[in-house]
Structure 1
Amino acid sequence: MATDPAQRPARLTAQALSAAYGSLTLSPVDVVDDVADVITQREPELNAFWRYDLDEARYAAERSAARWRAGAPLSPVDGVPATVKENLARTGVPMPSGNAGVTPVVPERSAPVVERLEEAGAIILGSTVMPDWGMLSSGVSSLHGITRSPWDPSLTTGGSSAGAGAAAAAGYAPLHVGTDIGGSIRLPGAWLGLTTLKPSAGRVPLQAPFLGRAAGPITRSAADAALLLDVISRPDPRDWTALPPEHLDLADLTVGGTYDVAGLRVGLLVDAGCGLPVDPAVRDAVEEAARVFEAAGATVERLEPFLEPDLLRRLDEFWRVRSLVDFDALAPAARDRVLPFIRRWVEAARDVTAQELMRDYTSIMRLQQATATATQAFDLVLSPVAPVAAFPAEWPMPWGEGDEGMAHIGFTVPYNMTGQPAATVNCGFLPDGRAIGLQVAGPRFDDVGVLRAVHWFEHRRSPEATPDWPIPPRDPAPLDQG
């Protein structure tokens, strides 16, 4: 893969960087210096990093460069810059979960994701921010302040992988790892135009497994998402919920140069059956994406809504009680430092009884059954990622400060509960420039099939739907004054 010498390294994909390292036309040191320049320009406004480790990154880049010169890289991502979300442990780096009321845990050992990246030689630039306890779909945090969109700093990044999304779209690195329990990888993906994947449950080993939680790639292309998944999905015995080790054929998403959607049975869901109504412009963009699949020979069938509002309400209540337990464990003064929105959200569950909490948990099983039943006949299911486009950066949720529960995750959270893989890819823009995300979900464990479909769509969507990333041009070299 040839690289354009006029292209600044910060704009290159991980695959392009790896090829350039192999041909010795580009050094990891050059790349780290270039992304550091982008970070210097944009970070004061975007606020993506909790910890930024430039000195360590430069040292790691020098070691990587030596390995490439010796023809002995550790992996294809050796020397490729990456970030990880702050709730993914890094040895010695405090983990406050975006919350000013928390006394951060300082881990003695890195999370599986981090260890796999380090073993592969990836250069971890730092840890990216999140909102309080990861329970907001924005970049609003009591500890970090507001994280903003690189496309338009007046807009949200989405959350809770807010910093990872901002860093990806801004060109801080091509590879980023976020976490997702109801849409926290995919919502930043949708609102920032990114390609992301919430993998199958258990595909990526976690340090702290929990119902619905996953870690996965946040990138600017499906090929890079596959490259990252190949690294972070390697086994780790600490996750007792992990899938058995499996070789995923991720090296070539075109399957030897060919991938054909002809004959695939594709479901199209544009009404979740609960939550916020879908913006007509979002629906139109998703339906246009479905026509791209249909024109190529896929059989597209409309799916009727399969969730009921009470299922979403009960899941929200279950999460409130979970966070209320964490909130009550704080000292009174520390509770006052928690984001006011989150304080109100958890306090609303103060009177939930044990019987109601058990009904909430049982309803999650019903949500799983409804999702699995509705989608089992399809090779892929296409839908919006979110019913609405990006909202003001200062808002904690798409509706502002009000309490609408989790009314915006009716399209995303079902696949957390069933464990099915679900990806995002940009499929259009509103007239005001806000991105529109297409969600592509597949059967359980078919992460490769989902990524192949996304890669296929990336190369067939209209030019108007293809992001031109908001990465600043490199300053020209100063003229020789000698």
Structure 2
Amino acid sequence: MNAVVHTPAVTEAPAWQLGVHELGEAYRAGRLTPVQALQAQLERLAEVQAVVNAMAWVDAEGARRAAEASAARWLRGQPLSALDGVPVTVKDNIPVAGLPCRWGSRLYQDHVPERDESPVARLRAAGAVILGKTAVPEFTLQGYTDSPVTGVTRNPWDPLLTPGGSSGGAVAALAAGVGALALATDGGGSIRRPAGHTGLYGFKPGWDTVPREHGLPEMLPRMEVIGPIARSARDLQLAMGVIGGARAGAWPDAPPPVPPQRIACWRHIAGSPVDPGVLAACDAAAERWRALGHTVDVVDAPLAVQAFNQHAWPVISTTGLARVLRQYPDAAARVGPALAEMLARGQAWRATELCDAQAVVRQLRRAMADVFRAHDLVLSPCSAALPWPAADSHPPRIADQPVDGRGHAVFTAFANATGLPALALPAGRVGHLPVGVQLAGPPGSDAALLALGQSWERAVAAVGTGAVELTPPLWPIWP
């Protein structure tokens, strides 16, 4: 497939390749209009949807109306924000007024919310163009993306493989050139792992950094947050300027200066297997941070992280599902087999076992407080595995060792249980596949993490390798 050429707009790259910042510059200079940018996006979508299956619903007419209104504002020199006229996709577990919000399940097949969830409302008020909804696994509880509603979503870097989950549709669309920004959720790594699998930047904010109202029923209480995925760290900053903070506009306009940091590097979780290529990328990232003036110490992760992964996560996630589905007496017969099994497990746990899981979470929070007394940040891989076959729920083996369904996901959920902000950064490639690393910080370090992300991006650009090198091949690598 070749890139679409658009003669009305003269830009350095096709309009569907441009990120948030580049689109704003093009609009401001009059080289491109939001209507032209949207048309380029829709044409690109027509090319790639059959291959990657990233979109669950497309609102072309609504997007056109929003783009036309944005074009009029830019013509008057009165854009509403840095996101005015920017095509944005929204994950299909985030309500958008008037669009189906099916959560990947036949149980929600006919659910059409009347109100936007609050981050979507902020995007609209900022002039963003809502392109549509991105595919998710059923009830967003799996680390790959396949559902009874939309089917299998595939990785633009290799359509035989998964982009991960549960934000698989969000990253597959963005990496294939659909949307300049993706709004997604992260309840156990669902932004960070897929971003790593597709060479993108993804941000999981800390607790209450992105306010949420008018959303779907809570599946993972206090663990799931909404955050952005983008092609650059700078674009994450622009997105947070709209959706972040207790009120619109409360997020800092510019990243704060960040002094040299003490970084703890976790290469394993209690000896868990990690793909050798992923480990090499993490080690290279550690060297890059050292070159930028930070201290990086390779240390063991607290045992409480593994205890949470093994003993608390299975209870919390499945009881959350049972809680959400208790209004459907026939739910087990109407969901897919994997969710039916999870539902049965969630219904079988006793109250004492849920209390035990909550005690493990409290132990994890104490352990992370100790971590941040000795270090400022934690560096790790985003995922222990490279992408695996698209229709498989998980890789059965990592580094030649058998693993369970969460073996690939050991590095991420601790941040959700403790409410910590965490940032996924592109960290090069293993063969033709992207790999990502994660920086996690203490409570309140959201802005500092994004500042460090931009520092990473500038450093990578200066040497001409890594994250910046990942951008052009995304358009795309087809078999």
Under a length normalisation based on structure 1, what TM-score does the superposition of the two structures give?
A: 0.88
**Contact between 2:242 and 2:251, CA under 8 Å: does it hold in 1?**
no
Q: Deviations over 1:260-309 (max 9, x none)?
A: 76x321111111227x4111221111111111111232111122121344
Q: How many angstroms does 1:327 deviate by?
A: 4.1
Q: How many angstroms does 1:99 deviate by?
A: 1.1
Cα 1:392–1:469 shift into 2, 3 Å: farther
Q: How many angstroms does 1:201 deviate by?
A: 0.9
For residue 468 of structure 1, what is the aligned residue in structure 2?
471
Name the stretch that deviates more: 58-67 or 34-43: 58-67
For residue 6 of structure 2, what is the aligned residue in structure 1?
none
Q: Distance in 2 between matches of 1:222 and 1:472?
A: 19
Matches within 5 A, 1:68-467: 68-102=74-108, 104-207=110-213, 208=215, 210-235=221-246, 247-251=250-254, 253=255, 263-273=260-270, 276-308=272-304, 309-313=306-310, 314-332=312-330, 334-399=331-396, 404-431=404-431, 433-461=432-460, 463-466=464-467, 467=470
Taking only aligned residues, the RMSD between alpha carbons, in angstroms, comes to 2.2
Q: Distance in 2 between matches of 1:25 and 1:348?
A: 56
Cα 1:260–1:212 shift into 2, 3 Å: closer
**Contact between 2:393 and 2:405, CA under 8 Å: does it hold in 1?**
no
Q: Distance in 1 between matches of 2:117 and 2:473?
A: 31
Per the alignment, in what secondary structure is the counterpart of residue 89 of structure 2?
strand
**Contact between 1:428 and 1:465, CA under 8 Å: does it hold in 2?**
yes
Q: Distance in 1 between matches of 2:107 and 2:114?
A: 22
Q: Deviations over 1:78-120 (max 9, x none)?
A: 1111111111111122322111234543322111011100000
Cα 1:224–1:372 shift into 2, 3 Å: same
Amino acid in the other structure paired with 2:84: D
Per the alignment, in what secondary structure is the counterpart of residue 157 of structure 2?
coil
Identity %: 33
Amino acid in the other structure paired with 1:398: P
Amino acid in the other structure paired with 2:433: R
Q: Distance in 2 between matches of 1:443 and 1:469?
A: 34
For residue 241 of structure 1, what is the aligned residue in structure 2?
none
Cα 1:4–1:439 shift into 2, 3 Å: farther
**Contact between 2:164 and 2:194, CA under 8 Å: does it hold in 1?**
yes
**Contact between 1:112 and 1:205, CA under 8 Å: does it hold in 2?**
yes
Q: Distance in 1 between matches of 2:11 and 2:80?
A: 25
Q: Distance in 2 between matches of 1:364 and 1:443?
A: 16
Q: Deviations over 1:410-458 (max 9, x none)?
A: 2111111221110111112112x11111101122111111111111112
Q: Distance in 1 between matches of 2:142 and 2:222?
A: 18
Amino acid in the other structure paired with 2:28: G
Structure 1: gaps of 5 or more residues: 237-244, 474-482
Per the alignment, in what secondary structure is the counterpart of residue 57 of structure 2?
strand
Q: How many angstroms does 1:404 deviate by?
A: 2.4
Q: How many angstroms does 1:405 deviate by?
A: 4.9
Name the stretch that deviates more: 376-385 or 120-129: 376-385
For residue 478 of structure 1, what is the aligned residue in structure 2?
none
Name the stretch that deviates more: 323-332 or 450-459: 323-332
Q: Distance in 1 between matches of 2:340 and 2:349?
A: 16
Q: How many angstroms does 1:464 deviate by?
A: 4.3
Structure ranking higher in helix proportion = 2
Matches within 5 A, 1:34-49: 34-49=40-55
Under a length normalisation based on structure 2, what TM-score does the superposition of the two structures give?
A: 0.89
Per the alignment, in what secondary structure is the counterpart of residue 93 of structure 1?
coil
